[in-house]
Structure 1
Amino acid sequence: MELLGMTTIFLLVCISCLLLFSSWRSVSQKGKQLPGPISLPILGNILQLNPQNLAESLKKLSKKYGPVFTIHFGPRKVVVLYGSDVVKEALIDQADDFSGRSILPLFEKLFQGTGIVTSNGETWKQLRRFALTTLRDFGMGKKSIEERIQEEAHFLVERIRKTQGRPFNPGKFLTHAVSNIICSIIFGNRFDYEDKKFLTLIELLDENNKLQDSIQTQLYNFFPTVMEILPGPHQKLIKNVEKVDKFTLEIIAEHQETWDPSCPRDFIDAFLNKIDQEKGNAHSDFTIDALSRTTLDLFLAGTGTTSTTLRYGLVILQKYPEIVEKVQEEIDHVIGRDRSPCMADRSQMPYTDAVVHEIQRFIDFLPFNVPHAVIRDTKFRDYFIPKDTMVFPMLTSVLHDSKEFPNPEKFDPGHFLNANGTFKKSDCFMPFSAGKRVCAGEGLARMEIFIFLTSILQNFTLKSVVDPKNVDISPSNRALANLPRPYEVSFLPR
């Protein structure tokens, strides 16, 4: 019996060794194991990360582990890509491999993997293709949408003029104006600035910007099961998104009552037409639920990103009145004071164009990008990344590349100017991401930022309530998005 026991143990050891060797050989043939800090069971790497400034934490880890490494959000493995070369290599050179979407637990809770931003596979391809085509049909990238932006910019300027130079926080004014552009496309009309439903909606978005800064909200992404049952600001944020979702469902219901298939008025009508066309297809990706989520995606993305960029841009420009003077000189020379700015002006305004680009580069709105995923087992720089692994292609490492942008922490329009003053393009300018998951509304956002900003500076000079040298342009929130600190400014008519 003793001999039999020893034989059994020996055989088990041999089998274990063979299995380990086979596993090691399999992995080594696929690629090297990724480096990264040792993670703890359940906790992952939370002790090595600052949830309220993850970007800085990952920057420090990249210095130790290189441009490709792993961390763990709780038990979940994440591959981090840090550096312009490695991010471009993944998103552009291996665009298909990295075209998946893997979302953080909080966003999974909020959007449930539907809509354009969080869906995957054929569903994502169908919804994105339909959205891009339909948005173009309703003017995105065309003269008609430019005219809508010019009209809204006129309303914004007149609204600012009524403040009569008194200092105020322009955040809501900017959000209302920007939101009305995407609302006119997806809902069929703009909202009056005093519309109670519209004001409530904007207040919910503004409140969520503050709530996402809380430590509880950040911890939800590490420990969703635990945080789901605990009270805190994260619960309020979830309820606010549910209210916004309810708002879009109400508008969809109103559209269904007055819908005429032969005459689509907006994005919602066009989507209802598509649902009707595919009603015999039991596997169709076009459903009321998909419409609700896609509409919510477009509304949130079309409102938040651009309005935050403008809001941040205005606080930066208060710190540099000499830059404002140069922009206004160019506006006066190319556009004058009597007509609205248009996109055709941009090519003749290299300094203003450089300022707009530098605002987007400097603020680094989404340092992490929206998380990606590899859609198959992927070999990347001799490393093996298993299918469905979450990936952070760190946009902050591209926008702050010191080789491309000398002294990247400083606001300097010269980053986008040649020695002779002409505009200089950069492959490292990717605030909208790159590759197959590039922001669908990039063209619209660029148009809005240029026309709104030049319209404001055409009509007003900015006067800070503090000495320009003391204006704080560091972000108030370094969690998932960089947001400007609250401020007031006077708009003095020119």
Structure 2
Amino acid sequence: MMISAILISLVLFLLSAQFLNMQWKSRGFPPGPTPFPIIGSIWWINFRADHQSLKKLAKTYGNICTLWLGHRPMMVLYGFQTVKNGLTNNSEDVSGRLQTYIFNKLADGKGILVSNGLIWKQQRHFGFGTLRKLGMGNKGMERGIQTEARYLVEFFRDKEGEAVDPSFPIVHAVSNVICAVVFGHRFSLEDKTFHQLIEAFDYIVAFGNSRFYYMCEMLPWFAEHLPGPLQKARFSRDFVCSFVRQEIKSHREKGRIDEPEDFIDFYLKQLEKTKNVPNSTFDEDNMVQSVFDLFLGGSETTATTLRWALLYMLVYPDIQDKVQKELDAVLSPSHLICYEDRKKLPYTNAVVHEILRFSSIVLITIPREVVKDTTVLGYHVPKGTLIMANVDSALFDPDYWETPHQFNPGHFLDKGGNFVTREAFLAFSAGHRACPGETMAKMELFIMFCSLLQKFKFTLPEGVKEINTDFVFGSTMKPHPYKLCAVLR
């Protein structure tokens, strides 16, 4: 009994000491909910960073406030000006990626997306330099996108106007663009392994930003031994990495490094070139994670946006009609859509940008980590602090958008009907960690969207009166499954 009382007293003392320590540390940070030992203050947003919680947080504590993820402070940025300045002023100082329990389990600081320091600089520089050699952002990549757009058109044509769920064909088309670049081949629509890869990525994306994710970050010792979402996310990640290692093995056996044809070939050549170079970060683990990152970044977000694009055409048939009238007026029916066409199609280009804004599929940026003591928006911020930017709040900021909660292509048109860019359009984030695949994503979205609307009128299946425009919450905001009819024009 005496021992139990001593243990309870010790635990209470330690919790009290941590509580007082967190209150002391909180003094220099922006205002925010009171942090408690172990759980921090993430409880205030119900362990989930969603639209309403972050809006309520900003309304209560201001556009720059502090949440505690366990014992770690996290500055939350809300609204266009706050997000932009927070990510671009002293951009290099806030360019780190968070190194937390979950991120270490799923990526171990490797690859491009969540690495830091020398690994990030070398892998990112090599990765995107190689993608440029393989055609990213130019005619080489455009031809690959046009090929997949043709397959997508053929899929809908074969359905002859019957009701169909477009989700997987879209994911298939978009993913095959990056597959051809990274692996040197595309997958058929029926390929079982491809279906398993997409299911694995879908689970990882759903796990991120979920309540389970935040709980695992706060209670890692508990998550480590509890069967459930984290174990399934790790299994999904391991499945993808196992597939990538098989692809690497196959590439090694073909021995094409003297005449590389795809990303893996180029990486194998780089491995050979740097094997005796001190401080080189090029190894098979970084290659596997880089391929994982490229596949995820080059497929998931664009495919999700294109799914929203077709859904919005069902919801706003008048806008679909205007796009098709512009396509018909400017391009011949046999014209092969290219990215350069956007300059002749201002209304269609505005619709594509409004789809990106209104769908707002990335609610928050992957949290960044302050790499050295610095100043953020007037606050002294110590090294190790996390920065969470609510990109969605910039895309719907009423101070910068005339009708933020309406789907309005006019946001990107001037009075003369010419396309205009908007400074609050932060769909691809900002600063050192802004999405490097912005051009590729816009190219894919524009070419595939226009190719489909050039050939088909998209309508609701017979008898369907209502469309669910709510999102499925996760790392990206997906639409609920839906069906449409693609009627040949």
TM-score between both structures, scaled by the size of structure 2: 0.91
1:103 touches 1:371 (CA, 8 Å); kept in 2?
Answer: no
Residue 105 and residue 413 in structure 1: after superposition, are their counterparts in 2 closer, same or farther (change >3 A)? farther
* 1:228 equivalent among 211, 220, 224: 224
2:260 counterpart residue number: 264
- Provide the secondary structure at the position in 2 that maps to 1:391: strand
Instruction: State whether structure 2 residue 291 is matched by structure 1 residue 295.
Output: yes
Stretch moving more, 367-376 or 54-63: 54-63
CA distance in 2, matches of 1:103, 1:79: 16
2:269 counterpart residue number: 273
Per-residue deviation, residues 179-198 of structure 1 (Å, max 9, x unmatched): 11001111112222223322
Amino acid at match of 1:333: A
Per-residue deviation, residues 250-285 of structure 1 (Å, max 9, x unmatched): 101111111233201111111111111111125311
2:424 counterpart residue number: 428
2:488 counterpart residue number: 493
2:4 counterpart residue number: none
Identity rate, percent: 40
1:484 counterpart residue number: 479
CA distance in 2, matches of 1:340, 1:463: 24
Per-residue deviation, residues 54-112 of structure 1 (Å, max 9, x unmatched): 34212211122222211012222211111211211122232112111115543332111
Residue 222 and residue 326 in structure 1: after superposition, are their counterparts in 2 closer, same or farther (change >3 A)? farther
Amino acid at match of 1:194: E
2:65 counterpart residue number: 69
1:121 counterpart residue number: 117
2:342 counterpart residue number: 346
- Provide the secondary structure at the position in 2 that maps to 1:221: helix
1:208 touches 1:237 (CA, 8 Å); kept in 2?
Answer: yes
2:42 touches 2:67 (CA, 8 Å); kept in 1?
Answer: no
CA distance in 2, matches of 1:53, 1:169: 29
Instruction: State whether structure 2 residue 302 is matched by structure 1 residue 306.
Output: yes
2:137 counterpart residue number: 141
User: What is the root-mean-square deviation of aligned Cα atoms in Å?
Assistant: 2.2
Instruction: State whether structure 2 residue 95 is matched by structure 1 residue 99.
Output: yes
CA distance in 1, matches of 2:36, 2:48: 20
1:403 counterpart residue number: 399
CA distance in 2, matches of 1:204, 1:32: 42
Amino acid at match of 1:320: Y
2:233 counterpart residue number: 237
CA distance in 1, matches of 2:464, 2:350: 21
- Residue segments in structure 1 that go unaligned for 5+ positions in a row: 1-19
Instruction: State whether structure 2 residue 343 is matched by structure 1 residue 368.
Output: no
Task: Give the deviation of 1:207 after TM superposition.
Answer: 4.5
* 2:456 equivalent among 450, 454, 460: 460
1:312 touches 1:363 (CA, 8 Å); kept in 2?
Answer: yes
Amino acid at match of 2:182: I
CA distance in 2, matches of 1:110, 1:116: 13
CA distance in 2, matches of 1:482, 1:471: 16
1:27-106 correspondence to structure 2 within 5 Å: 32-103=28-99, 105-106=101-102
Amino acid at match of 2:484: V
Amino acid at match of 1:337: P
- Residue segments in structure 2 that go unaligned for 5+ positions in a row: 1-19
* 1:391 equivalent among 387, 390, 404: 387
1:212 touches 1:234 (CA, 8 Å); kept in 2?
Answer: no
Instruction: State whether structure 2 residue 198 is matched by structure 1 residue 198.
Output: no
- Provide the secondary structure at the position in 2 that maps to 1:115: coil
1:311 touches 1:484 (CA, 8 Å); kept in 2?
Answer: yes
Residue 405 and residue 167 in structure 1: after superposition, are their counterparts in 2 closer, same or farther (change >3 A)? same
- Provide the secondary structure at the position in 1 that maps to 2:285: helix
- Provide the secondary structure at the position in 1 that maps to 2:388: strand
- Provide the secondary structure at the position in 2 that maps to 1:470: coil
Residue 208 and residue 193 in structure 1: after superposition, are their counterparts in 2 closer, same or farther (change >3 A)? same
Task: Give the deviation of 1:395 after TM superposition.
Answer: 0.7
1:248 counterpart residue number: 244
Amino acid at match of 1:370: I
Instruction: State whether structure 2 residue 182 is matched by structure 1 residue 182.
Output: no
Stretch moving more, 210-219 or 435-444: 210-219
Task: Give the deviation of 1:229 after TM superposition.
Answer: 1.6
- Provide the secondary structure at the position in 2 that maps to 1:492: strand
- Provide the secondary structure at the position in 1 that maps to 2:67: strand
Amino acid at match of 1:85: Q
Stretch moving more, 429-438 or 303-312: 429-438
CA distance in 2, matches of 1:370, 1:245: 21
Amino acid at match of 2:246: E
CA distance in 2, matches of 1:353, 1:420: 15
- Name which one, 1 or 2, has greater alpha-carbon Rg: 1
1:191 touches 1:198 (CA, 8 Å); kept in 2?
Answer: yes
1:32 touches 1:382 (CA, 8 Å); kept in 2?
Answer: no
Stretch moving more, 339-348 or 458-467: 458-467
Residue 391 and residue 449 in structure 1: after superposition, are their counterparts in 2 closer, same or farther (change >3 A)? same
Amino acid at match of 1:80: V
Instruction: State whether structure 2 residue 316 is matched by structure 1 residue 316.
Output: no
Task: Give the deviation of 1:218 after TM superposition.
Answer: 4.6
1:329 counterpart residue number: 325
Amino acid at match of 2:253: E
How many residues are matched? 467
Per-residue deviation, residues 334-381 of structure 1 (Å, max 9, x unmatched): 222112211111011111111111111111111111111111101123
2:434 counterpart residue number: 438
Per-residue deviation, residues 127-174 of structure 1 (Å, max 9, x unmatched): 111111110000001111111111111111001111111111111100
Stretch moving more, 192-201 or 347-356: 192-201
Task: Give the deviation of 1:297 after TM superposition.
Answer: 0.3
CA distance in 2, matches of 1:465, 1:209: 29
Stretch moving more, 253-262 or 459-468: 459-468
Residue 44 and residue 411 in structure 1: after superposition, are their counterparts in 2 closer, same or farther (change >3 A)? same
CA distance in 2, matches of 1:53, 1:390: 14
1:10-25 correspondence to structure 2 within 5 Å: none
Instruction: State whether structure 2 residue 314 is matched by structure 1 residue 357.
Output: no
1:103 touches 1:372 (CA, 8 Å); kept in 2?
Answer: no
Task: Give the deviation of 1:120 after TM superposition.
Answer: 0.7
Residue 213 and residue 65 in structure 1: after superposition, are their counterparts in 2 closer, same or farther (change >3 A)? closer
